[in-house]
Structure 1
Amino acid sequence: MYILFFIISFSASIIGAICGIGGGIIIKPVMDAFGVLDVSVINFLSGCTVLSMTTYSVCKSLLAKDSSINMKLGTPLAIGAAVGGLAGKELFSYVASLFETANTAGAVQAFILMLITLGTLLYTIKKNSIATHKVTNLFACLIIGIMLGGLSSFLGIGGGPINLVVLYFFFTMGTKEAAQNSLYIILFSQGTSTIRSLFTTDLTQISVFLLAGMILCGILGGIFGRKINKKINEAMVDKLFIGLMIVIIFINIYNIYHFLSI
């Protein structure tokens, strides 16, 4: 089972680095579907994997001086996302406390993630015909970042497609530019979220071997994902992203049924 989780983490991190979605939106629902780990443990493992991949990808881009991160807009978005990341974790803890089992909270996460993924899919298909904006106000960027971080942290996905849609719509970014800025935002939001989880998650439930392996897979996925991203055009990135969204929707439908039937 660990080997399978490593393959999932590695593959998700490659796709995450290519599309700018972090990888958590793949890791979280797929690991949920196996039903062998507690929801909070999966959230933590997924978060650590995403954090390792984004740290490598962002730092490598900056050091190689091939980054298209818009620091003026990306930094307030990232700071807001970091604040929102903490709020999202608190919200998930509160929602989980309302139910008798963590599985019900998992079903809520899966349902919301399914709706967001569906909306993202529809927007991506129609984005060329949708008017976009160019937000430059730093306070507005901060608020948008808080909303992004809060929602992604609550869902345990690190950021993912939500970031891309927001960057397309509010900042008129191209696919590859949005991908790099999305990873920068995820780095901040996932960093604060993971630090908080260190103090709130029962780490005795987590295998050190599994955690270390998933972190390593995240870094390796970031390496391969960066190389692939440079070799393909934006149209191909969009097609990969659309295909991924369709798969994630069906996985979440299964997860809703799975969580509610336990």
Structure 2
Amino acid sequence: MLMWILLFFIGLAAGTIGSLVGLGGGIIIVPVLLIVDQYTDWLPVLSPQMIVGSSIVVLVAIGLSSTLAYMKKKSVDYKSGALFFLGSGPGAILGAWLNKFIQVDYFSIYFGVFMVLVSILLMVRNRLRPMKVNGQFARSYTDSDGVQVNYTFSALAAVLVSFIVGVISGLFGIGGGSLMVPAMILLFGFPTTVAVATSMFMIFLSSITGTLTHLALGNIQWFLLLGLIPGAWIGAKCGSFINQKLSDNTIVIILRWMLIIVGVRLIWQGTMG
């Protein structure tokens, strides 16, 4: 009974935080389950591959639940999300393949530092101008106050940047949202609410492909899903609800701290490896 309660609350926390800032939730599920598995006997012995594979299945639930909630607020940019997925999908597959040949622990330290630097860039984002490249993709969004925000970006640049993000996420085993949300805000001028909602839509798409891969590899532990998914589904609804109540600046502050946590985790992971 204790195990099911624990899994439910892990899923709830992952869904809430992941949906709130567009990071998915894997950054909560994977390290927490690794710690629980290592230091307690509450769960059957799990391999890291099973934890990662099961986490990706939970991301399908978080991504779908969040997307449905953000759809009601009309803050998901489907066309941009599909465009970014064109790059991030193949990139993630390539990154997972490259993972076999590269000493990831060594690079984790540098990438962790990079993530912390991205969080610092978000502090000064108002002084930065979005990239201006020919062949612009024009989009608009009307916020809850009825104010229309227009943003434009290059479709080619979007696919290239999302491909790089996909490779990095596949290589280091982190959610693509960790970099895609800052990229949408800093490089392409997305309103923060739209960036978060669109990121969750992308995470839903990419986690489906990831699930099929891990299913084929036999990396999914079904008993974990029975506990994690109900909590994750409810948490994703809570996260998207909270997101709509907060200002863009508040969401960016939370996002910055989450990136710092991810960065520190990668640095620690690299030094421990």
In the alignment, does 2:57 pair up with 1:48? yes
Q: Work out the CA distance in 2 between the residues paired with 1:176 and 1:128.
A: 16
Query: Which residue pairs with 1:243 in the alignment?
Result: 257
How far has the Cα of 1:248 moved from its partner? 3.2
Q: How does 1:151-230 map to 2 (within 5 A)?
A: 151-203=168-220, 206=221, 208-230=222-244
Q: Which has the larger Rg?
A: 2
Alpha carbons of structure 1 residues 256 and 138: separation in structure 2 relative to 1, 3 Å: closer
Match of 2:131 among 120, 133, 136: 133
1:120/1:161 contact within 8 Å kept? no
- Give the SS at the match of 1:157: coil
- CA offset at residue 145 of structure 1? 2.6
User: Do the aligned partners of residues 78 and 202 (structure 1) sit closer, same or farther apart at CA in structure 2, a change above 3 Å counting?
Assistant: closer
Identical-pair percentage: 24
Distance 1:246 1:22, change over 3 A: same
Deviations 1:34-81 (A, max 9, x none): 56342222221221222210111113333x2x2222233222112322
Paired residues of 1:81 and 1:188 also in contact (CA < 8 A) = no
**Cα distance 1:248–1:75, how it changes in 2: closer, same or farther (>3 A)?**
closer
Counterpart for residue 11 of structure 2? 9
How far apart, CA to CA, are the structure 2 residues paired with 1:167 and 1:246? 18
Give the match for residue 91 of structure 1.
98
Report the RMSD for the aligned CA atoms in angstroms.
2.6
Asked whether the equivalents of residues 49 and 217 of structure 1 are also in contact (C-alpha less than 8 Å), the reply is: no
Deviates more, 1:145-154 or 1:44-53: 145-154
The structure that is strand-richer by fraction is 2
Check the 8 A contact 1:69/1:177 in 2, yes or no.
Answer: yes
Contact 1:121 1:246 in 2 (8 A): yes
Contact 1:55 1:187 in 2 (8 A): yes
Q: Does 1:76 align with 2:83?
A: yes
Post-superposition offset of 1:238: 1.8
Would you say the 8 A contact 1:81–1:150 is kept in 2?
yes
Alpha carbons of structure 1 residues 167 and 210: separation in structure 2 relative to 1, 3 Å: same
- Rate the CA distance shift 1:108–1:201 in 2: closer, same or farther, 3 A: farther
Segments of structure 2 that go 5 or more residues without pairing to the other structure are 39-45, 138-153
CA distance in 1, matches of 2:8, 2:244: 24
CA 196–35 in structure 1, closer or farther in 2 if over 3 Å, else same: same
Amino acid aligned to 2:128:
I
Q: Deviations over 1:11-38 (max 9, x none)?
A: 1210111111111223333434456342
Contact (CA 8 Å) 2:57, 2:211: kept in 1 or not? yes
Name the SS of the counterpart of 1:171 in structure 2.
Answer: coil
Specify every segment of 5 or more residues in structure 1 that has no aligned partner in the other structure, as ranges. Answer: 100-104
**Number of residue-to-residue matches in the alignment:** 245
